[in-house]
Amino acid sequence: MVMKSQPGIGVSREGFREILEASSDGIIIAGEDGCILFWNHASERMFGYTPEEASVIKIVDLMPEEYHERHKEGFGKFIKTGKGSIMGRTVIVKARRRDAAVFPVELSLASHKSGGRWAVAAIIRDITERRAYEHKLAHQSRLLVKANKELALLAKISALLNQSMEFSELLNIILDTITQIDIFKLERSGGIFILRDGVLTLAAHLGHNEDFLEKHKAIKIGECLCGLAAETGEVVTSMNSHEDPRHTVSYEGMRPHAHIIVPLKAKDRVVGVLYLYLQKGIAVDSARKSFLESIGGILGVAISNSLLYEETRRLALHDPLTGLANKRLLNIELERNFVLAKRYERPFSCLMLDIDLFKVYNDSHGHVAGDQMLQKVAGAIKSSLRETDLAARYGGEEFCVILPETAVESAALVAGKIREAVKTKTGITASLGVAAFDSRMPGPGSMVESADRALYSAKKKGRDRVEVCPWP
């Protein structure tokens, strides 16, 4: 380490020593005359000068000759004006070692003036390995683009990263895009698995029959080639499905084929698997595998972003305690079904449910038990509905149910079924009000108000019952 004093500039030897111990980057401070005032061990290793040699050289000696005139002019201007074109910035420039070898560095400059004199501090990072790696990647990319014009299709995949769309739509676009790439002589067949809870579920597919889909609904980690790729996080290839013992899942009409299985990763975590078909006997070399890993990274990020988007959307539209729709989603669906019912004269009903004496239950059993009871009631409601129906937590211990394509008589029967399910599965009772769409209603809020009036009537008549509210 070199530390020299300069009039007007206080240099703490202990302070520099602490920086030296903590920094793997070169740290150099130079005075107005260009002489080096401070030089840490990382600088010694980087430039190859001994501490004694460093004490007599100037900052210009660490630059290639092509920079000398520019440095002289710029440094002189800085000393006079206090302004420099790269001062306060981080730039990539060339540096020169003691043996005259030139190498790339990342340079950050800062300045300080004390006692009327300037000192300039430089933080220097050798980026030789990084630049070599970047050049290598750029070279490989140029070769692949030149040899295969079809790789331009990958731009479509990258563009998906910046789009918000339905998850299923995203996967189908990705699959369709990938199977059009000719670099591996792909067949128009393949699919994408998504990894959830240790199981691969088929989320998108192309060119498969019903037996294939049935047998690939859920693939365990390590099972068949796709499960192996998910387990290892590595690209898996197979030249012949009929001769590869790892290919353990067969299906009706399966003919000999080759495979490329690509794990889809985001932040080194496997989020899915892309499987592609090739003609039997086609091998995939290491360069192609490496490129496929890059594709897997791109697709993995796209899928991860989409999953995050879908999960965020789900959380925004669902009650976190019960998992049912929240009031926001309820209002959206009420409006949509109301418009459809009015336009096409379709039947449409809704129910309001309130747990009987829930405050008493909450006070005597505690809030934790109360929350658990709300979850049980939500489960009882869902078990009594069709897939097309929507149950929502309206607020507190109140729930609302939308019944599309359902007349008031049928809605009353559904309400009775829910009432029985709540009593049987939870041991407590609930009261329900039923209301049906009427073309004279000004809006969907009128249906909810009608169902709420019916609910109030059920409460007033002794609870644990269903009441229907006519309109008006």
310 and 170, same structural domain? yes
Q: What's the pLDDT score for residue 197?
A: 84
Give the integer Cα–Cα distance in Å for 199 and 226. 11
179 and 276, same structural domain? yes
Give the integer Cα–Cα distance in Å for 189 and 131. 39
Give the integer Cα–Cα distance in Å for 466 and 430. 9
Question: CB neighbours of 86 closer than 8 A, spacing ≥ 6?
Answer: 74, 107, 109
290 and 182, same structural domain? yes
Q: What's the pLDDT score for residue 143?
A: 66
Helices (H), 248-319: 286-317
The DSSP secondary-structure symbol of 62 reads G
154 and 113, same structural domain? no
Q: Which of 62, 96, 126 is the endpoint of a domain?
A: 126
Give the integer Cα–Cα distance in Å for 19 and 246. 55
Residue 321 lies in a domain: no
> What are 101's two structure tokens?
């070898």
Q: Which of 315, 337, 370 is the endpoint of a domain?
A: 315
96 and 56, same structural domain? yes
Residue 82 backbone class (left: φ over 0; alpha: ψ -120 to 50; beta: rest): left
> What are 64's two structure tokens?
């290639």
Total domains present in the chain: 3
DSSP string, 447-462: HHHHHHHHHHHHHHTT
> What are 144's two structure tokens?
């692949």
100 and 240, same structural domain? no
The DSSP secondary-structure symbol of 151 reads G
217 and 184, same structural domain? yes
Residue 15 lies in a domain: yes
352 and 437, same structural domain? yes
For 22-61, give the secondary structure using H, E and C: HCCCEEEEEECCCEEEEECHHHHHHHCCCHHHHCCCEHHH
For the chain, 472 residues long, give each residue's pLDDT as a single digit of tens.
Answer: 555 544 544 455 676 667 666 788 998 888 888 888 888 888 888 999 987 888 888 999 999 999 999 898 888 888 888 888 888 888 999 999 999 999 999 999 988 888 888 888 899 999 999 888 888 887 777 666 545 544 565 666 677 666 666 667 778 877 887 787 766 677 888 899 989 888 999 988 888 899 999 999 899 999 999 999 999 999 999 999 899 999 999 899 898 998 989 999 888 889 999 998 888 888 887 877 777 787 788 788 777 777 776 767 777 788 999 999 999 889 989 999 999 999 889 999 999 999 999 999 999 999 999 999 999 999 999 999 998 999 999 999 999 999 999 999 999 999 999 999 999 999 999 999 999 999 999 999 999 999 999 999 999 999 999 999 976 6
Range of the domain at 345: 327-468
206 and 103, same structural domain? no
| CATH number, residue 230 | 3.30.450.40
Q: Tokens 């731009």: give the residue.
A: 155
CB atoms within 10 A of CB 206: 17
DSSP string, 388-401: T-EEEEEETTEEEE
Residue 115 lies in a domain: yes
| CATH number, residue 43 | 3.30.450.20
140 and 276, same structural domain? yes
Q: What is the largest CA-CA distance in the chain?
A: 101
69 and 144, same structural domain? no
Q: What's the pLDDT score for residue 67?
A: 92
C-alpha closest to that of 389 among 332, 424, 349? 349
| CATH number, residue 376 | 3.30.70.270
Q: Rg of the Cα trace of the chain?
A: 35
338 and 302, same structural domain? no
Give the integer Cα–Cα distance in Å for 350 and 139. 64
CA distances from 238 to 256, 271, 273 (A): 11, 22, 15
Residue 55 lies in a domain: yes
Residue 320 lies in a domain: no
C-alpha closest to that of 237 among 302, 197, 283? 283
Q: Which of 126, 158, 192 is the endpoint of a domain?
A: 126
Give the sheet arrangement for strand 430-436, strand by strand.
390-395, 398-404, 348-355, 430-436, 466-468
Q: Which helix (H) or strand (E) holds 361?
A: helix 358-365
Question: CB neighbours of 179 closer than 8 A, spacing ≥ 6?
Answer: 186, 187, 188, 189, 190, 206, 276
Residue 131 lies in a domain: no
Identity of the residue numbered 403 = L
Residue 76 lies in a domain: yes
> What are 209's two structure tokens?
């029959």
Residue 238 lies in a domain: yes
Q: Tokens 């792909």: give the residue.
A: 186
